[in-house]
Chain A
Amino acid sequence: MFDALTDRLSGVFDGLTGKGSLSEKDVSSALREIRVALLEADVALDVVKQFIADIKPKAVGESVIRSVKPGQQVIKIVHDGLVEMLGGGEEAQGLRIDNVPAVIMMAGLQGSGKTTTTGKLAKRLKEHERKKVLIASLDVYRPAAMKQLEILAGQVGVDSLPIMDGQMPVDIAKRAVNAAKLGGYDVVILDTAGRTTLDEQMMGEAASVADVSNPSETILVADALTGQDAVETARRFDERLKLTGLILTRMDGDGRGGAALSMRAVTGLPIKFLGTGEKSDGLEVFDATRIAGRILGQGDVVSLVEKAAAEIDQEKAEKMAKKMAKGIFDLEDLAEQFKQMERMGGLGGLMGMLPGAKKAKQAMDAQGLDDRVLKRQHAVIMSMTPKERAKPALLNASRKKRIAAGAGVEVSEVNKVLKMHKQMAGMMKKMGKGGMKQMAKAMGAMGQGGLPGGQSMDPAALQDMAGKMGGGLPGLGGPGMPGGMGGLPGLGGPRGGKKK
């Protein structure tokens, strides 16, 4: 699913050289793909149209960052636009709790998760903000809805309004506010019945409840899996109830969450919390960046960069860079590269996270190339003495035999590793003499220019680098490997990832 957008975009930009600035034509073709991607993520059509119209002038004329593919750059601009639209610049807003007892009214469609969310919210207010909370169910329609809230209240340790059969919602609301006043509660949460916005009678009832209880927060609880209808629902509820915020539930699903953008756009209201899971503590503070990445399907690139930054040992990388600058690359360095790859989730994990690398991954799978190969080759090096690792020329037939036995492989496997090392070392030597400048540049771009704001990883720079490294791992690569793959361990080179 996440591959779709990046694959499509790499198609659009294949013909572009990425020089100068983004032309209107480049941007238009990219935005067409982004439009479809947003629609597939369930962002409402009107919102998509508006968003694309807003973003276009920002992208056209933008000067192209050297090492970044134009497609990546457009995605970055779109990503930032989404974050902004989702309210990323705003301070996270809690719930307004003044005028004790503050009334919080929960509204939404049937099955959106109001009752469960009411329980979660009560727990949060009680434990994080030390409030005395009373919850009351106004759902006299769905069988056992009131009982459900009563049980939840018991589970999270707050009080619930005693159930009185036959009372109507408006009266229950009055009784709840009264009980809260008398009982010295800070907050009273009113959980209303689910209703469709077309049901005038029910919408009128909700409005009456709001009238008598004068809520300081009126929250629309909506399902993050909602489709195009999200705008309609949000607008209609907002019109009748003067909403103050949104809570999106089922964020632990695999939906793309386009509803978040739609609802935010149409109401302008802050998304206060995200509901995840059915447990009573599954309520998270809203994070615009995370949702933007999810809608775009770019979350993986972000996490790749984060992972790279977190996992790659800066010191070791710099040490290696110094050695490389002198054109020295011994077996110890090769082993270190294997290890860094493993830390980043192995070959499969790494390739899976790289945009556009799907094909390479498929080729790898087809050849049965997996992390076991890496592990085995690492074991081969580990079976050598430090002396041997530093000076591979020492290795004669009997030493190789010993190493093979130690690593549990055939001698031919040892030879493969040595051949791979020889090729890489040769290349390093060449680089140390002349090509190093270029390579350092490519890597520098990775560390800085290629990662604007640490948001996007630039596969172009990676591929560039890999290309310069001459398909570094021939023993690994095999015949069918796409070019540029082989040099991947170079990812662990100096300044791979953002500096702290």
Chain B
Amino acid sequence: MESLPFQTLEEVAQEKADTAAPKEDETSSPEPIEEELIAETEIDDPIAETKTTGFFSRMTQGLRRSSSKLADGITSVFTKKKLDDDTLEDLEDLLISSDLGTNVAMRVCDNIRKDRFDKEVSSEEIKQALASEIAQVLQPREEVLDLSEGPSPRVVLFVGVNGSGKTTTIGKIASKLSAQGADLLLAAGDTFRAAAVEQLKVWADRSNSGFLSRPDGADSAGLAYDAIQQAKQENRDLVLIDTAGRLQNRTELMDELAKVVRAIRKVEPTAPHDVILVLDATVGQNALSQVEAFKHTAGVTGLVMTKLDGTAKGGVLVAIADKHAIPIHFVGIGEKAEDLHPFSADAFANALVGLSDDVTGE
């Protein structure tokens, strides 16, 4: 697969630039620690972020992300030429190879065909058109999650498959809210994976949040129950409940999750007030099945997409937005607390087609 059909000279050049760029990282890494100091309550924590990528290095990383497959592809497909069937097919292929799925890809292409078929188009124009088509699908799902209001304690449950980034996302949200003055309790509901409890404990310490855990293998439903009761007694504003990662087709594990939800309702009939499904940007069409299953079992109220700092652009989010009326709250672009950003439909669409380098739009 060395000779990709749409690998362009630009991409090759870009790759060269990629390998040249890192020097900046190394030289600029010592200074930004001071910035980090403000955000972090503990810097001498041995397992905290030893990886000191500062503001500048993160920006260059952001720039490097412009070597997005889709962007390069479009540039090579459209160098100002007539939009014919072949080019439209290529475009559709490119959308599919960004995980948009066949249905959405076809529809987006049909829409572009309607307006511009047989006309001269430049790659920039086609990117704009694509971005606006995609943004249109995403727009209705753009909804910032304001956790600072609502019932007290507000109960937020985090669900998802293994390794999607639930615990890290909870940690980030806790750090942000705590910095805004909220009083939180973190419940380590992942009683299965080794050291999941310790992982969340580190985040609880960093964010000065309350923390509740049970020994490994304990019943997570019971833990959720106790967490809400404890939060009520201690007058906490929020309870963030972690759960063990589970594949959505494992009935016994999904039943266990349903039990957690039932236990939560027993203490607080209106809870959980938010059920956040955490999705990994690298996942392909299976994300659709994840959304369906977790929606069915736990009543998902919102989505977070993590790991958008990698090569995967999370195009499946468009397919999800097209099919399910579930708000998308945040995107994660790194491991630090400040790497969690509110979801922006326009920024996401622009980054997907390569109009912009920044998925966060900030």
Contact = CB atoms under 8 A, between A and B. Distances in A.
A341 B64 CA distance: 60
B1 A110 contact: no
Interface string A249-266: 010111110110000011
Contacts of B199: 142-145, 148
Contact of A113 (B163, B196, B286): B163
A211 interface: no
Contact of B310 (A41, A198, A225): A198
Interface in B262-290: 280-287, 289
Nearest to A44: B97
A175 to B, nearest CB: 16
Contacts of B162: 111, 113, 116, 250, 278
A231 B99 CA distance: 13
Interface string B42-73: 00001111110100010001001100010000
A236 B18 CA distance: 12
Contacts of A250: 161-162, 247
A254 B97 contact: no
Contact of A143 (B22, B47, B64, B316): B47
A221 to B, nearest CB: 10
B202 interface: yes
Given A45-B97, A200-B18, A227 B195 contact: no
Contact of A111 (B4, B5, B50, B163): B163
Interface residues of B, number: 70
A142 B216 CA distance: 19
A146 B199 CA distance: 10
B189 interface: no
B316 A227 contact: yes
A363 interface: no
B248 interface: yes
B194 A40 contact: no
User: Which among A143, A226, A258 has the highest number of chain B CB atoms within 10 Å?
Assistant: A143
A147 B198 CA distance: 8
Given A200-B25, A254-B249, A254-B289, A151 B195 contact: yes
B8 to A, nearest CB: 14
19 contacts: A40-B101, A42-B284, A46-B5, A49-B5, A111-B164, A111-B165, A140-B46, A141-B49, A148-B195, A148-B196, A165-B46, A196-B310, A198-B61, A200-B25, A228-B97, A253-B161, A254-B247, A258-B284, A265-B1
Contacts of A109: 282, 307, 310
Contacts of B57: 201
Given A42-B99, A110-B335, A140-B47, 11 more contacts: A40-B102, A110-B165, A147-B194, A148-B199, A166-B46, A223-B280, A228-B69, A229-B284, A231-B1, A255-B289, A259-B284
Nearest to A254: B249
A457 to B, nearest CB: 25
Interface string A165-192: 1101000000000000000000000000
Nearest to B199: A144
A155 B307 contact: no
B163 A141 contact: no
Contact of B51 (A165, A202, A278): A202
- Which interface class (under 10, 10 to 19, 20 to 34, 35 or more) fits A? 35 or more
A343 to B, nearest CB: 25
Contacts, number: 199
B311 interface: yes
B282 to A, nearest CB: 5
Contacts of A200: 18-19, 21-22, 25
User: Which among B64, B99, B286, B315 has the highest number of chain A CB atoms within 10 Å?
Assistant: B286
What secondary structure prevails in chain B residues at the interface with A? loop
Interface in A44-64: 44-47, 49-50
Interface of B: 1, 4-5, 18-19, 21-22, 25-26, 29, 46-51, 53, 57, 61, 64-65, 69, 93-94, 96-99, 101-102, 161-165, 168, 171, 192-196, 198-199, 201-203, 216, 247-250, 280-287, 289, 307, 309-313, 315-316, 335
B4 A40 contact: no
Nearest to B26: A201
Given A229-B99, A253-B286, A140 B311 contact: no
Contacts of B26: 201
Contacts of A202: 51
Contacts of B48: 143
Interface pairs A-B: 6 shortest CB-CB: A227-B284, A111-B163, A200-B22, A148-B195, A143-B202, A144-B198
B282 A226 contact: yes
Contact of A253 (B1, B46, B49, B247): B247
Interface string A409-439: 0000000000000000000000000000000
Contacts of A143: 47-48, 171, 198-199, 201-203
Given A50-B1, A266-B1, A223 B194 contact: no
B249 A39 contact: no
A50 B5 CA distance: 10
A39 B96 contact: yes
Given A44-B97, A225-B284, A259-B284, A110 B163 contact: yes
Interface in A380-426: none
A145 B195 contact: yes
A232 interface: yes
A169 B214 CA distance: 31
A70 to B, nearest CB: 24
Contacts of A168: 50
A354 to B, nearest CB: 23
A213 B343 CA distance: 42
A141 B335 contact: yes
A26 to B, nearest CB: 21
